Amino acid sequence: MSYVRIWVHVVFSTRNHEQYFSAEIRSKLFAHIRDNCREKGIFLDSIGGWSDHVHLLISLGKEQNIAKLMMLIKGESAHWLNKQLFFKGKFYWQDDYFAISVSESQVEKVRAYINDQEVHHRAVPFEREFEKLVGIFDARSG
């Protein structure tokens, strides 16, 4: 029997980092993404975010890859958002995303970070957060 546990922290944003998500819309979106992941056999541990982006902590299954999961999650959630008519015009996610592996020993720390996004972003804008995340990655690979 196969056992696979590959943790990935993923961040993706709205096109042009537009501030679309009020607290109410975020709540509905996160619930929808959770349901969608459950239906598609995607193990979503944590979800959080702010008005222009979403953080996920997921564990890849043995036949899953990050590109396919992001296509399923982002594509379906954009479709759902557009059907809800929350916004004038069509909603789009930015094409790219940030994904980094998380060691088992850091899962709890990343989970807490994702769950604390609303408090975190009252003080730290997304651009500074993203620079910090990429800096951590660059320091590990350099």
54-110 tens-digit pLDDT: 999 999 999 999 999 999 999 999 999 999 999 989 999 999 999 999 999 999 999
Alpha carbon 141 to its chain's center: 22
Task: Name residues whose C-beta falls within 8 Å of residue 121's C-beta, 6 or more positions apart in sequence.
Answer: 50, 51, 129
Question: Which pTM was predicted?
Answer: 0.84
Structural domains in the chain, sorted by start: 6-137 (3.30.70.1290)
